Structure 1
């Protein structure tokens, strides 16, 4: 079985956690605890573009708040 994260033609969603970190996630998988969906099912390229546009500061929120 091929790794679902490697499927170019797969359908994905974008998740966000409390630390402001984004994740590309296969649409057919359950959303893990501590994460919420911020972009519904799209192509992998669309999801990656969304993450690149919106995740401009890679530091976790806890580090940003301390500075």
Structure 2
């Protein structure tokens, strides 16, 4: 294994599911069923930083919708 192989970090992408939950996934791997690329790619830390900015409500979408309906 070369020095470059041990020092290079794989690329990552931000992914989300239908419940609007976020995660990161390596760009060299096929996405698991139910997850979709959000559009952001970069280092692991760049992707995690992006998620920290955009995922401000950790509740799944279905729970947010139920709670919004209960308050009406």
TM-score class, shorter: 0.7 to 0.9
What TM-score results when the alignment is normalised by the length of structure 2?
0.75
Higher helix share: 2
User: CA RMSD of the aligned region, Å?
Assistant: 1.4
Which deviates the most, 33-42 or 12-21? 33-42
Counterpart mapping for 1:28-39 below 5 A: 28-39=28-39
**Structure 1 residues without counterparts, runs of 5 or longer:** 1-7
**Structure 2 residues without counterparts, runs of 5 or longer:** 1-7, 68-72
- Does residue 53 of structure 1 match 2:53? yes
How many residues in Structure 1 have an aligned counterpart in Structure 2? 60
Counterpart mapping for 1:18-37 below 5 A: 18-37=18-37
SS at match of 1:25: strand
CA offset at residue 40 of structure 1?
Answer: 4.0
